[in-house]
Structure 1
Amino acid sequence: MCAKNLKSRRNFLRNSLVSAAAAPVLPNLLGTAPAEQPEAIPVEKKALPPKNPVSDKHRNLFNGDTCVFFYNPEMWQPEDFSVKTVKNPRTGKMNTKPTLVGGPFKAKAIHRYVDVLADNGIDTFVINANASRAWYPSKKITSILDGYKRGDRDFFRGHAICQGITEPEAVEEFLDTFSTFMNLYQDLLDAGVDWLAETSKACRARKIAPWVSIRMNDMHGSNNFDGSFFNVPLLKQKEMRLQNSSYGSINSLYRQGLNYEKREVRDLMFTQIREVVEDYDFEGLELDWLRNPLCCEPNATPETIGMMNDWIRQVRALTQSRAKKTGRPYPLGLRIPGRLDILKSIGLDVVTLCQEGTIDFVSPSGFWCTTWDMPHDEFRKRLGDRVAIYGVVEDGANGLPTQNQTGDFSQRLRYISASPEVLHANAAGKLAMGANGIEWFNFYCTDQPRLPGLKADYAAMRQIDKLDFLRGKPKHYCFAIGGKSFNHVPFELPAQLPVALELGDQHPFRLAMCAEPTDKNLELTVQIVLKAGDEMKYLPVSFNGCWPTLKNERTSQLLFPCGSLTHHTKDHIAYNYRFPVSLVRDGWNEIVVENGGKLPVNLVCIELAVHPKTA
């Protein structure tokens, strides 16, 4: 999938269905015996995170964006919707891509979606209410379909360029599909249904806690501030936007979010927050500063930081007032990237807000790719024992391109909700580092493009917040790979890979993992992924200080399939090294790779598997 398509998951309607991919196959990880390694001295499991009044009741959180119910109505309302190739009423010709047909969209789809979450262990549904505009029928701020009349394709025309679409016929195709999608919301409006209120109602019916998430600076319409229907009117005023948040080759428009130093901006956002807190039946609020991490101009002064602290304290007073009225706690939290000091430089003093008790929970995360080395232990030291810290599982593994067995289908990003092994590994590493629970983000994006062989495994969420449940389960760990398409620099953790190793170089890498039982016939495989053209003769690998081993097996297969994706692309080749599972520790684990050959090698990625021993 190209970087343009990944830039916005709202671009899903442009993705076509590809031909059926080959069925997933479990690879034979190695056919040789493991190198002799000394058994590790038993390492005590890390202490459990402190008891917390938030995470004691809210441990398995599902974050759904404004389109979560609407992406795949054929799944949640199959009696009324299907995906098929039909004649285009505009051109009179058969469409080249399958199209969503049917309707109208009804509230029962929302209840069915929440039923699936409840049946699969979710205790808290964090529903996102806005992008830039409100996507629900707000009575206080501009809503996404204000001024729209069904059939008015031109209402959406100004947003095509924001999706990277400029060719005239491509624009018309975009309008065909996008207007069909937005009409699902219009269906509910015509029926007098407020989908945001209906979400809370569905949660109450299944005893799931309904929380709400507000995106503090969503930039989906940044390529056309004046013309995209996504944008709140305030974004059209340049003086209300940030001017100094981009540098170098960073996209300047994408960084020109609303400037919270402006009272008008703070008042607008507070008005929306007040509405969802006071007028809707929620019992928790997440301020999402990751989509996008923009607040005040960089190098914020102490006065600016103090102003933002006071503003967030006002939000806290709002939630406390609501809690007093309902008799239920109303936690306030932040979804943020992982670099706390960089956030402070744009006015967000997370440490002070947590230590003083203004913030009840934080959800440190990646933008598109999930994190594998988030320092939850350091977060605990800096934020204190009072705050709940969630491990966020995003839907992207990393930027390593993969393909199906035949090579006729490839993707630049693996959607990991199709892989229980990757989900188990990601959650286990975060819990072992002290996370109080798990928050899912973008889980549904696997279903969104409707690709054969790729489907979100909702059952994989069951009990995944329990570390003891995860021990002994097959796992597929990955490392993050740098790349501007998947990262918000400089706010996210710098990726450890790729790395070029010269002759004699050795390089350490660290990864969060959980210790495994030694009586379950398990072993650990470390997979080193190189550029296909690199000469690899001597590449010793050490895990957690054991003697380096040279013994490996060359392979093109992934450690575990991810849906129909089973192999590396032709640009890369992998080498598998085996180690005793007893070497794996709770928390940080270290892999050291040496280049003992005569030529440089390009280390593209490292992935690890915990799996049953092979012969």
Structure 2
Amino acid sequence: MESENKQNRRFFLRSGLLSAATAPVLPSLFAPAPAKQPAIPPKKNALDQHRNLFNGDTCVYFYNPERWQPEDYTMKTVVNPRTGKMGTKPVAIGGPFQAKAIHRYVDLLADNGIDTFVINANANRAWYPSKKIPSILDGYKRGDREFFRGHAICQGITEPEAVEEFLDNFERFMNRYQDLLDAGVDWLAETAKACRRRKISPWVSIRMNDMHGSRNVDGSFFNLPLFKKDEMRLKHASYGLQNAQDRIGFNYEKPEVRALMFEQIREVVEDYDYEGLELDWWRQPLCCEPGASDQTIAMMNDWFRQIRELTQRRAKKTGKPYPFGMRIPGALDSLKAIGIDVVTLTQEGTLDFIIPAGFWATTWDMPHDEFRKRLGERVTIYGSVDDGANSLPTQNESGSVEQRMRYIGANPEVERANAAGKLAMGVHGIEWFNFFCSDQPLIPGLKADYTALRDIHKLDFLRGKPKHYCFSTAGAFFNPTPFELPAQLPASIGPFAQRPFQLAMCAEPADKNLELVVQVVLKAEDKPGFLPVSVNGCWPNLKNEKSQKLLTSCGSLTHLTKEHLGYNYRFPVSLLTDGWNKIVVENQSKETITVAAIEIGVLAKTV
């Protein structure tokens, strides 16, 4: 609504100036007063009621049955009937899995302020019982462990005993889907039913090129028959030393591929009770061969317009809007190079919304302001908060638990900061992606806090509350090039040099007893002489406190690992502004230092 109000103001000013320029120089003093025109209310945005979106993948209910069906499932370490040996890790034991787990999950979202549930329907195959394309358990008979064997290598599992353990666990997991099939329950339809009951808007998300089975094209049960045909896959999407197997997705230049995917999309739009469609191009950003020609781009634009017509027909039939959009990387030009012309599709109104995001870890410096300039006022832009903070490794105090990434669903201060930065950049609302991955029963003390989602899409609600901002950091798992935005960190700073870093944040009130804490994280072996830090042009601050502690805890993760050391600086919170904020780090010493991360806290004053 804010962007539409700005547009209306611009129209008013433009109309007023034009009228003034064309009016007579000396108007008659006795001319009759013009008739008063009735006020025209601003056009209502069809997405006004969609501000707090939750994206759940095909497994969202099935990961943690002990949480959503606790009367039937418990976490236990049990004897493996195949080997007769006690297992090494607890597993969810019980069942059968039932539709009530779906309703309880949706209840949790509704109780905590989610207004739109975006449920993912597919990977390579459909994960629901599709009548149009092959489904994930087609051909499976309960107890057939061999059905899953070819997928072990796709999970990076090759040792014989590890493969057998994988089959034990995966059979148990997939049998939860089979439980619903045996009971005649279509979990995708049941999701929409649960949303309707709780007055949450149900949207559906389609993964456009999921690569979970790509490391065993012929052997993984994840893969569609069409995907197994070599001529239907991309040949030139990988380069350098990147993993080529994750870049062999469907080639949308092939009419057979477009026809298959269109049939998948048609089914979820026409045959299910959903009212919004998201095409997920982060799973994966693979479409046409790189360097797509103008003709190829035009062909893809026409294909997307056909999908738009599909959603509009559905909207006409139901009498309600059916928004159509994409979850995308922030690299618009790279997307166009593979045939996805987001600029044209948004400017012409084919896409109602876009959600620029990172692959797995949250992108803290997404240029939403630049997107607005390039894409125009017609499109709604959401901010994506992904469950990974960055690739800074952290641990519990004793070091017995260590993680390469923080799952921020267990860290409300980090969630608030990421949402606040995006809202201050003008996004319409927030989509939560992979939030449920914080539900980690095998990591002590790590559990998603769903209560933190309530009202988190409201910037005024967030101001004055504790926050923990992070910078994106480069890492092979978290930053697939060229689609992930280049990370600002880690960064080397030479002797007597300085480096600026930019982050989206929000301004804070001065009366909430808050202070700004900047934690500069260096390699432990670095020995800086003087390490001045400034915020938004203030005089450099040399006073710091060394610390191994994180600014806020993420479940049981409370400390940096021994490879790093933090230097904490305190500033008045009044230095922060809405939008881009600049942090400058100086190295006033004779040796090069490496800034591994910068973490920023808006925290209660300690003195």
Structure 2 length normalisation: TM-score? Answer: 0.93
Cα deviation 1:323-379 (Å, max 9, x = unaligned): 000111000000001110110000000010000000000000011101110111111
Q: Distance in 2 between matches of 1:406 and 1:49?
A: 53
Q: Distance in 2 between matches of 1:471 and 1:77?
A: 37
Shift of the alpha carbon at 1:54? 3.6
1:69-108 correspondence runs (5 A): 69-108=61-100
SS at match of 1:265: helix
User: Partner residue of 2:244?
Assistant: 252
Aligned-residue CA RMSD in angstroms?
1.3
Q: Distance in 2 between matches of 1:351 and 1:454?
A: 40
Cα contact 1:333–1:362 (8 A) shared by 2: yes
Asked if residue 210 in structure 1 is aligned to residue 198 in structure 2, the reply is no
Q: Distance in 2 between matches of 1:140 and 1:175?
A: 28
User: Partner residue of 2:410?
Assistant: 418
Match 1:542 to one of 528, 534, 540: 534
Distance 1:228 1:449, change over 3 A: farther
User: Partner residue of 2:477?
Assistant: 485
Match 1:241 to one of 233, 237, 240: 233
Cα deviation 1:121-157 (Å, max 9, x = unaligned): 0000000000000000000000000000000000000
Q: Return structure 1 stretches of 4+ with deviation > 6 angstroms.
A: 45-52
- Which blocks of at least 5 consecutive residues in structure 1 are unaligned? 1-44
Q: Distance in 2 between matches of 1:487 and 1:528?
A: 22
Cα deviation 1:196-223 (Å, max 9, x = unaligned): 0000000000000000000000000010
1:404-443 correspondence runs (5 A): 404-443=396-435
User: Partner residue of 2:27?
Assistant: none
Q: Distance in 2 between matches of 1:300 and 1:449?
A: 45
Match 1:134 to one of 121, 126, 130: 126
Distance 1:52 1:214, change over 3 A: farther
Shift of the alpha carbon at 1:250? 1.0
Q: Distance in 2 between matches of 1:175 and 1:208?
A: 36
- Which blocks of at least 5 consecutive residues in structure 2 are unaligned? 8-42
Asked if residue 525 in structure 1 is aligned to residue 517 in structure 2, the reply is yes
SS at match of 1:610: strand
Asked if residue 371 in structure 1 is aligned to residue 367 in structure 2, the reply is no
Shift of the alpha carbon at 1:580? 0.7
User: Partner residue of 1:292?
Assistant: 284
Match 1:325 to one of 303, 307, 317: 317
Asked if residue 400 in structure 1 is aligned to residue 392 in structure 2, the reply is yes
Q: Distance in 1 between matches of 2:343 and 2:94?
A: 50
SS at match of 1:213: strand
User: Partner residue of 2:217?
Assistant: 225
Q: Distance in 1 between matches of 2:231 and 2:3?
A: 50
SS at match of 1:380: helix
Distance 1:273 1:104, change over 3 A: same
**Partner letter of residue 371 of structure 1?**
T
Shift of the alpha carbon at 1:549? 1.2
Q: Distance in 1 between matches of 2:489 and 2:5?
A: 30
**Partner letter of residue 373 of structure 2?**
K
User: Partner residue of 2:348?
Assistant: 356
User: Partner residue of 1:5?
Assistant: none
Q: Distance in 2 between matches of 1:469 and 1:584?
A: 17
**Partner letter of residue 100 of structure 2?**
K
Asked if residue 584 in structure 1 is aligned to residue 576 in structure 2, the reply is yes
Distance 1:400 1:46, change over 3 A: farther
Shift of the alpha carbon at 1:296? 0.4
1:259-338 correspondence runs (5 A): 259-338=251-330
Q: Distance in 2 between matches of 1:588 and 1:546?
A: 15
User: Partner residue of 1:14?
Assistant: none
Cα contact 1:52–1:387 (8 A) shared by 2: no
User: Partner residue of 1:596?
Assistant: 588
Cα contact 2:57–2:119 (8 A) shared by 1: yes
Cα contact 2:468–2:601 (8 A) shared by 1: yes
Cα contact 1:48–1:434 (8 A) shared by 2: no
Shift of the alpha carbon at 1:450? 3.5
Asked if residue 189 in structure 1 is aligned to residue 181 in structure 2, the reply is yes
Cα deviation 1:451-491 (Å, max 9, x = unaligned): 22000000000000000000000000000001111122100
Q: Distance in 1 between matches of 2:85 and 2:94?
A: 19
Shift of the alpha carbon at 1:49? 7.3
Distance 1:48 1:510, change over 3 A: farther
Shift of the alpha carbon at 1:94? 1.2
Shift of the alpha carbon at 1:60? 0.3
User: Partner residue of 1:36?
Assistant: none
User: Partner residue of 1:452?
Assistant: 444
Q: Distance in 2 between matches of 1:176 and 1:362?
A: 40
1:9-158 correspondence runs (5 A): 53-158=45-150
Higher normalized contact order (CA 8 Å, seq sep 6+, divided by chain length): 1
**Partner letter of residue 553 of structure 1?**
E
**Partner letter of residue 504 of structure 1?**
F
SS at match of 1:306: helix
User: Partner residue of 1:513?
Assistant: 505
Cα deviation 1:254-281 (Å, max 9, x = unaligned): 1000000000000000000000000000
Shift of the alpha carbon at 1:55? 3.2
**Partner letter of residue 432 of structure 1?**
A
Cα deviation 1:206-257 (Å, max 9, x = unaligned): 0000000000000000100000000111111111100001000111111000
Cα contact 1:558–1:566 (8 A) shared by 2: yes
Cα contact 1:393–1:440 (8 A) shared by 2: yes
User: Partner residue of 1:8?
Assistant: none
Q: Distance in 2 between matches of 1:152 and 1:548?
A: 65
Cα contact 1:513–1:586 (8 A) shared by 2: yes
Cα deviation 1:489-535 (Å, max 9, x = unaligned): 10011000001111021111000000000111111011000000001
User: Partner residue of 1:28?
Assistant: none
